[in-house]
Amino acid sequence: MKFGGTSMAGIERIRSVAARVKREAAAGNQVAVVVSAMAGETDRLVGFCREASPLYDPREYDVVVAAGEQVTSGLLAIALQAIGVPARSWLGWQLPIHTDDAFAKARIGTIDTDALDASLSAGEVAVIPGFQGVSANGRITTLGRGGSDTSAVAVAAAMKADRCDIYTDVDGVYTTDPRIVPRARKLAKVTYEEMLELASVGAKVLQTRSVGLAMKENVRIQVLSSFTGDDAPMADTLPGTMIVGEEEAASKENGDVERQLITGIAHDKNEAKITLTSVPDKPGSVAAIFEPLAAANINVDMIIQNIAHRSAGSGDNGSTSATDVTFTVPAADLPRSIEALNQARGTIGFGDLIHDTRVAKISVVGVGMRSHAGVASTMFTTLGARGINIQAISTSEIKVSVLIHEDETELAVRVLHTAYGLDADEAA
């Protein structure tokens, strides 16, 4: 069981979590719990580090920010003991959870579970702080923002758990954001691949890295809400959304003969569009654009290269033809992208650099795309019928994404949700 920061925000909520854990333990389950820091606490600790020194040592930074989860793990163990549940906390170095030494963004290698298994067999509930581990030389490490989901999946894999229940402030994965489309439906099952795509294109339910690990280790994840009453169904009755392998997701439960063609529609307004004009149309030009961005660790998403045209003053042989190249980057990386490109301007040889943050990425995702034609056509026709202009397109085997003006985000999501037959009969 994994509980996020909003679930652990204060003693009353921690008591509520303890009551939920007690129900699972009383049902005969061996339970390990992974907890996040209280909501806002990690940001507070990060602020202290920056205040102490803008050029802080990342090793000491990890010592400071790991403290948030240490507090909540101890408090939950105390709350469980207070209601008669044998429990103890296990810090990352006590299990231990072995990581590399990339401080502030460490990756988990192995987890020793001998002590944990003995504790569970003795009837104890294990409470483990998420987000942290220990390097080979004994230094505390942290996994980067959102790392508690990854911790939970890694612990579940190491202890060969039947399931990893991730409790959050939503009660499952929906076909789209219910705040935009009241008729959005909660999905019973989603494949790892679909969840990876949804998470990468804007759905904020699970962290991408945790889903990738679950897929690699074949850990079944269930997304549940921790904000339900004491009379809510037990997790074993599967009231949330299961993230599973494609074979299990395609099983004919609930009388479904075939899975839904489209699983969900995601949107992301945290995109910025950059256009470089008059880029020389010659081998190596595109590489010259993206090499400095890669060196700055900036992820490029959609890319369009226009048909080459002759630049002003070109000769009859067309040897000085040029093209425009458009691509998107995360909005937060726009200033660094502009700086990197301008520094490489002499090498690239572009004319103007035009940028726009008033864009949004809309994506339709579903493994059914593999065996059905016309998914992209439906998307383009639907948006065109409502006068929504498409500025860029990118695809994968199970995803089609388009870039549009941000003011048309909600309209695009609604009309596509209806076009793919995802609307529930009644509003949620």
Nearest to 153 by CA among 200, 111, 106: 111
State the DSSP code for 186.
B
pLDDT band at 319 (very low <50, low <70, confident <90, very high): low
Q: What is the pLDDT of residues 115-165, one digit of tens each?
A: 999 999 999 999 999 999 999 999 999 998 879 999 999 999 999 999 999
Residues 17/4, Cβ–Cβ less than 8 Å: no
Q: Where are the alpha helices (DSSP H) in 187-307?
A: 192-200, 208-217, 246-249, 285-295
Confidence at residue 318, expressed as pLDDT on a 0 to 100 scale: 46
Query: Over the stretch 272-316, which tens digit does the pLDDT of each residue have?
Result: 999 999 999 989 999 999 999 999 989 998 998 887 776 554 444
pLDDT of 99 strictly over 70: yes
Q: Does the pLDDT of residue 216 top 60, yes or no?
A: yes
> What gap in Å lies between CA 330 and CA 339, rounded to an integer?
14
Query: 349: alpha, beta or left, given left = phi > 0 and alpha = psi -120 to 50?
Result: left
Tally the C-alpha atoms within 13 A of residue 378's C-alpha that lie toward its C-beta. 17
Assess whether pLDDT exceeds 80 at residue 328: yes
Average pLDDT over the chain, rounded to whole? 90
SS3 content of the chain, % helix, strand, coil (to 5): 35, 25, 40
- pTM, full prediction: 0.79
Instruction: Give the mean model confidence (pLDDT) for residues 70-87.
Output: 98
119-130 residue pLDDT tens: 999 999 999 999
Residues 289 and 205: their CA atoms lie apart, in Å, by 33
